[in-house]
Structure 1
Amino acid sequence: MDTAASGPTPRRVLRLSLLAASLLTLALPLAGCGEETAAQTREAPATVARPVQVTSVAYKPREAEKSFVGVVRARREIDLAFRVGGKVVQRKVEVGDLVKAGDVVARMDPEDLRLELESARAELSAATANLAQTAAEDTRYRSLTAKGVASAADLDRKSLAKEEAVGRLERAKRSLELAENRLSYADLVANADGVVVATAVEPGQVVSSGQTIVRVARLDEKEAVVALPETALADARDADAFVTLWAEPGRQIPARLRELSPQAEANSRTYPARFALAGADGAVALGMTATVTLRPRQQQAVARLPLSALIDRGHGPQVFVVEAATRTLAARPVEIAAYTDDSVLLSSGVAEGEEVVTLGVQTLLPGQKVRTARLPGATDVAERLPAGATRAAALEGGQK
């Protein structure tokens, strides 16, 4: 007992030595395995292709075309009305009928107008007879005055009566002309070629002078009428315009702003605008739905990219471009034309058709090898993915 308490025995020392040697032998392979794993981890970014989302660069005009829907109208619409009041006995046209200048579109009862004409003729006959009588008396009294039989006062009265008869005859002639004109107004005549677009009365209705009977639209000039918001007023004045029809979607008709209202409508707060259609033929019918497109002139071409594609690490704004040959990343300095709410407009720095990384650019490095994926939109991708799928899985599914 005293010997065991005084210190370790040779056999115990031998066991401890063997145990230490075994532990050292096991530690050396484990250390080598850890160094190999760390080395592989350091090499992974350079050798393993990382999936990234990209979009192709496309240069387009900075200001997009603006389109507004309206209708085709005639530049001139004429309200035809009788020039005298009376009872309408016939309306010879309906909506959609073509009329030519001189065609009768409606008739009024002419009986009262014919009576007025007969009265005017009778008045003319009486005025003519009165003038003949007063003229004869004036001649006779001049002869008597010269012989000293009649006084000068009597001659003056006869002369004044003659002058009054002359004026009465002229008035009767004018009344007869007016009566003849009024009788001719019983026929309502179209004064230009066109198409009837509206009717306002029916036969048997009593109308007053100037009341609209039919509305005729002239076909020589056609326009597209649209309502413009206040943000499009400058474009309407300066941009090139063309019109497309729903009936002929492949046809573009040159248009020119002819009239822009200086005041907005009270209800819609929009400004009515009329665009004249150059060369509109018979296929462009009145009332057709027309789309007026405004195309800005002489504007800068820019590439529109998401804001997430832009990165700045102290050397100015850059984007990552995927080199087509090596499928590696290259950092490109870019010139920014403008920012919008969700995108950036580039004026230079990238070429048409190049692929630019749009997500996760903060974690990427130049020269890194990548696999590209095109996603039409986050919403579409989310709808196609199964529940619980990750964004990395989506990128793997869309890689090429």
Structure 2
Amino acid sequence: MSDLPRLSSSRVPTPFIAFAVLAILSLALAGCDGQAQEEAKPERPVLTIKVHYAPQTPDRSFVGTIRPRIETDVGFRVPGKVAKRLVEVGQVVDVGQPLALLDDADLKLQAEQADAELRAANGVLAQAQAAENRAAELRRKGWSTDAQMDQAKAAAAEARGRVIRAERSVELTKNNLSYATLRADARGVVMATAAEPGQVVASGQGVVRIARVAEKEAVVAVPETLVARAQGGEAHVSLWSEPGKTYAAKLREFAPVADAATRTYLAKFSIPAADDAVKLGMTATLTLAEPASERVARVPLSAVFNQGHGPSVFVADAATGKVELRPVTVKSYETRDAVIADGVKDGENIVALGVHKLDTAQKVRVVSSLSF
């Protein structure tokens, strides 16, 4: 080894030294650039899902029809010939508004006859009372017998009874005359007419059908499997014309027997707060919910993150780009979803995909937010 020639530093070529220095500087700069790129790591795009809590037992909806609670066929209380009909189908009527008129010529004659009977009865009563007074005076003086006195009293009593009967007859004929005008007894809508001018109708025969608008209800057909929910659940009604507005409903009537053809039960739900927008005959959707059903949120299985410390989800803040790993209580796992009882708030955004590649120190960029 000692025989080998030694190279002194003075013999190393200068270009070789310069090349070595440049190579070292290049490697150092490359390492700094890599570290800077690591520090300036770009935001990770993520897909988020908006959490929505709903009853664990899903609501059930039925198509129904808006109907009036009370629909009545009104008619004259006395027989006669219809002289005029004053309303048409679809017209809104108020309390006391005339609907139809009868020919009242015969009724007026009966009223005049009753008045004449009353005047005659009053004349007979005056004569009987005078006879009774004379009989009483003669009896005090001893010029009359008890039988004559009793006869005078009986005649006076009969005359008074006749007057009472005549007075009642006058009242009845006046009432009958007023019944010649058919009036609405409640505010409502004319649904149908069953008589025309010139037609002779009997007492009580339906002439106009009135649907009262004071209270409306939704009529639906409930299947056998949901009878218990219909009788004890919470009900809401929405109209097809205004799907965003709902009305509270209450079960008023439930059929005791199922329909033989459809095997469904007819149910009537009253709508106490129905306004003018709820019109008769409209199509409505009745929604039945369990009164004590627990509220849960369903999220995709891909959103649940678990590294041995329990299930968690990443809650993303779109404004700041930060993510937070938050533990949740999973009530059950389904085919595609996880049912969460608590841990996240309603309306928060959670990362739906790629949660195993996220880090709480990393910023994210929300590219899409969907409701689930």
Q: Same fold (TM over 0.5)?
A: yes
Unaligned residue ranges in structure 2 (runs of 5+):
1-50, 306-329, 344-349, 354-372
Secondary structure of the corresponding residue to residue 256 of structure 2: coil
What is the deviation of 1:105?
A: 0.5
1:134 to 128, 131, 142: 128
Q: Which amino acid aligns with 1:272?
A: L
1:264 to 249, 258, 261: 258
8 Å Cα contact 1:197/1:216 also seen in 2:
yes
Structure 2 CA distance for partners of 1:261 and 1:187, relative to 1, 3 Å: same
Identity among equivalent positions (%) equals 48
1:182 to 159, 176, 181: 176
1:121 to 97, 115, 118: 115
So what's the TM-score if we normalise by structure 2? 0.65
1:79 to 73, 86, 95: 73
Q: Which amino acid aligns with 1:180?
A: K
Q: Which amino acid aligns with 2:211?
A: A
What is the deviation of 1:74?
A: 1.9
Distance 1:170 1:153 in 2: 26
Distance 2:271 2:70 in 1: 13
Structure 2 CA distance for partners of 1:266 and 1:175, relative to 1, 3 Å: farther
Distance 1:267 1:164 in 2: 67
Q: Which amino acid aligns with 2:96?
A: G
So what's the TM-score if we normalise by structure 1? 0.60
What is the deviation of 1:169?
A: 0.6
1:149 to 143, 147, 151: 143
Unaligned residue ranges in structure 1 (runs of 5+):
1-56, 306-320, 326-334, 356-400
Secondary structure of the corresponding residue to residue 257 of structure 2: coil
Q: Which amino acid aligns with 1:191?
A: D
Q: Is residue 2:214 matched to residue 1:206?
A: no
Query: 1:195-235 CA distances to partner (integer Å, 9 max, x unpaired)?
Result: 11122222222212111111222222221111212221111
Structure 2 CA distance for partners of 1:154 and 1:242, relative to 1, 3 Å: same
| Aligned pairs (5 A) from 1:322-333 | none
Distance 1:132 1:173 in 2: 16
| Aligned pairs (5 A) from 1:1-400 | 61-300=55-294
Q: Alignment RMSD, CA only? A: 3.5
Distance 1:184 1:251 in 2: 45
What is the deviation of 1:66?
A: 1.2
Query: 1:85-136 CA distances to partner (integer Å, 9 max, x unpaired)?
Result: 1111111111110111111001111112111111111111111111111111
Distance 1:213 1:286 in 2: 21
Structure 2 CA distance for partners of 1:322 and 1:125, relative to 1, 3 Å: closer
Structure 2 CA distance for partners of 1:206 and 1:267, relative to 1, 3 Å: farther
Distance 1:237 1:247 in 2: 27
8 Å Cα contact 1:301/1:347 also seen in 2:
no
Structure 1 window deviating more from structure 2 (143-152 vs 105-114): it is 143-152
Structure 2 CA distance for partners of 1:136 and 1:80, relative to 1, 3 Å: same
Q: Which amino acid aligns with 1:276?
A: S
The structure richer in helix per residue is 1
